[in-house]
Chains A and B, each alone.
Chain A
Amino acid sequence: MQAIRTFWKNNWVGYFFLSPWLIGLICLSAFPMAFSLYLSFTQYDMFTSPNWIGLGNFTEMFQDRKYLNSIEVTIKYVLIGVPLQLTFALCIALLLNRGLRGLRVYRAVYYVPSLFGGSVAIAILWRQLFGGEGLVNEFLASFGIEGKNWVSTPDTALYTLIILAIWQFGASMVIFLAGLKQIPTELYESAKIDGAGRVRQFRSITFPLLTPIIFFNLVMQIISAFQAFTPAFIVSGGNGGPLDSTLFYTLYLYQKGFTHFQMGFASAMAWLLLLTIAFITALIFVTSGRWVYYQE
């Protein structure tokens, strides 16, 4: 009894302030996660009670053409989009970091697409830009090149979404700029005295000292790219077409869970997504020892 009383006396203030988060953690994260893990082994349509089918959802998944296709589409999107986006972000950050006048204005302009990019409005704009009569084709026509409807051609539809992702490089650029400011200028001065050129300075000073930030950006962008949803949904009109070429993983999950009400299957998909993201993050962390340089 006494022990409980002292425990309460020492802790009640802390737990009082923590209570909203703690309730949220239990009710909105922990319990739902356990519940969805359970559901992933069942068949459940929300009207009848869940029916245990063991690994049924997982075996069904890997025979499902559409599912395998959605993995391929998502991996393409991540593997092409993220590196290109980060490369752009780094290059522009390097250009802007040379003591230019008007840096703040330039930074703001390059950032704006990141601010708007995830919205429905921009997805609508994109559908027009890359449509048959879109701005891109008008531009190409002025060079005598005949375009096509990029959004409704299966081979190119995904690339319009990748361009949309690259267009939003501003947020990563802002993080790179902050990182570049942290590099002590004395390093460059002594490098210059030693006769190192621009390229050499980048390879021996800038890049190594920036690797922690590159690492951070890489992890964050991969996590968010795997979860991209709105652009694919709006640009394809909600179905991931044409011919499922923009059927992102999350879009298929949405269709399975909330239009076909296969909640068990969708839960299994969600858990595989979680495991994939966890695995890739862990992989980057483990290999980071080889290429990320931490200053003492």
Chain B
Amino acid sequence: MTTIRPGRAALHVFIIAGCLIMVYPLLWMLSSSFKFNTEIFSNTTLWINDFTIDNYIQGWKGVSGVTFGTFFLNTFYIVGMSIIGTLLSCSMAAYAFARLNFTMKKALFAIMLVTLMLPFHVTVIPQYIVFNKLGWIDTTLPLILPKFFAVEGFFIFLIVQFIRSLPRELDQAAEIDGCGPIMKYIYLIMPLAMPALVTSMIFTFIWTWNDFFSQLLYLSTLSKYTVALGLRMFTDSTGQNSWGAMFAMSLLSLVPLFAVFIFFQRYLIEGIASGGIKG
């Protein structure tokens, strides 16, 4: 028979209370998004007296004829391309660092580690100037193209660590079977490194989704706006009397993040705990 110790129970109560304080703002935003604007401020509890989905319908219409559908599609496009670019370029570099030999390997690896610490503000101004000369301002190229050149060193590091933990015997077996280094990358290392690749994918998704600075910098036409930019424009244009619609769209913008969290929680938590990736 198990006995309930009072100390334990108190601890649970305390921790659950903490959880509630932490997520109350989010739950409140959720419930408010289903309330009429008049009710949002007169009723600050989570209970909904008068349920409506009007906020979602009004909000989805977006700003000056551009709907949130467009903003979402634009964001998914940028996120998708960023993921492809990051996985390809970072896994290639990681494979080279973890399994191949070449001159200056140690020095280059050290340089890669140093770039992890660099604030991107040092490079953003010259990059902007060059992209401007190339006529790429107000296109998605400045947001996507760098991802194909492994600018996120964190993922190289993460994948390197993972590949290093794979047994070398597998490599030797593949070599005996006549696998060259390129075949080994495609058919042996990449499938085995899948967990590290999934972690990299998830974090690329989250970072790109939450990125605001570079989108603000490079995108200026409304129809090219991402969800983050659309939301900001929406708050500026609708003003104080439509919090409901604003909450509804804010909440929708968090749904993809939440979905990733629910489906890939294990990879996410492990990525933070072991790889030292900022959450």
Contacts and interface: CB of A to CB of B under 8 A. Distances in A.
Interface of A: 7, 10-11, 13-15, 17-25, 27-29, 31-33, 35-36, 39, 46, 92, 95-96, 98, 100, 102, 106-116, 118-122, 124-125, 127-129, 133, 135, 138-139, 167-168, 170-171, 174-175, 177-178, 216, 220, 223-224, 226-227, 229-230, 233-234, 237, 250, 253-254, 257-258, 263, 266-267, 269-271, 273-274, 277-278, 281
B52 interface: no
B279 A24 contact: no
B117 interface: yes
B22 A109 contact: yes
B257 A119 contact: yes
Contacts of A138: 41, 44
B253 A121 contact: yes
A13 B276 contact: no
Given A14-B96, A114-B279, A28 B151 contact: yes
A278 B257 CA distance: 32
Interface stretch (B171-179, B193-201, B265-273): B265-273
23 contacts: A13-B182, A17-B93, A17-B95, A21-B92, A22-B108, A29-B118, A32-B123, A36-B125, A95-B14, A106-B16, A108-B261, A109-B19, A112-B22, A120-B228, A121-B231, A124-B231, A125-B247, A135-B25, A139-B44, A223-B119, A227-B120, A230-B213, A273-B122
B29 A223 contact: no
Interface string B248-264: 00110110011001000
Interface residues of B, number: 89
A273 B272 contact: no
A223 B278 CA distance: 11
B273 A124 contact: no
A220 B200 CA distance: 18
Nearest to B243: A128
B100 interface: yes
B182 A92 contact: no
Question: Is the contact region of chain A dominated by helix, strand, or loop, or is it mixed?
Answer: helix
B148 A20 contact: yes
Given A25-B111, A116-B254, A229 B88 contact: no
B89 A21 contact: yes
Contacts, number: 242
Nearest to A103: B15
B118 A224 contact: no
A125 B11 contact: no
A119 B205 CA distance: 13
Given A109-B22, A220-B276, A125 B29 contact: yes
Contacts of A258: 128, 217
Contact of A177 (B26, B209, B257, B273): B273
A98 to B, nearest CB: 7
Nearest to B18: A92
Contacts of A127: 235
Contacts of A220: 276, 278
B22 A20 contact: no
Contact of B228 (A29, A33, A114, A119): A119
B185 interface: yes
B38 interface: no
Contacts of A234: 212, 232, 235
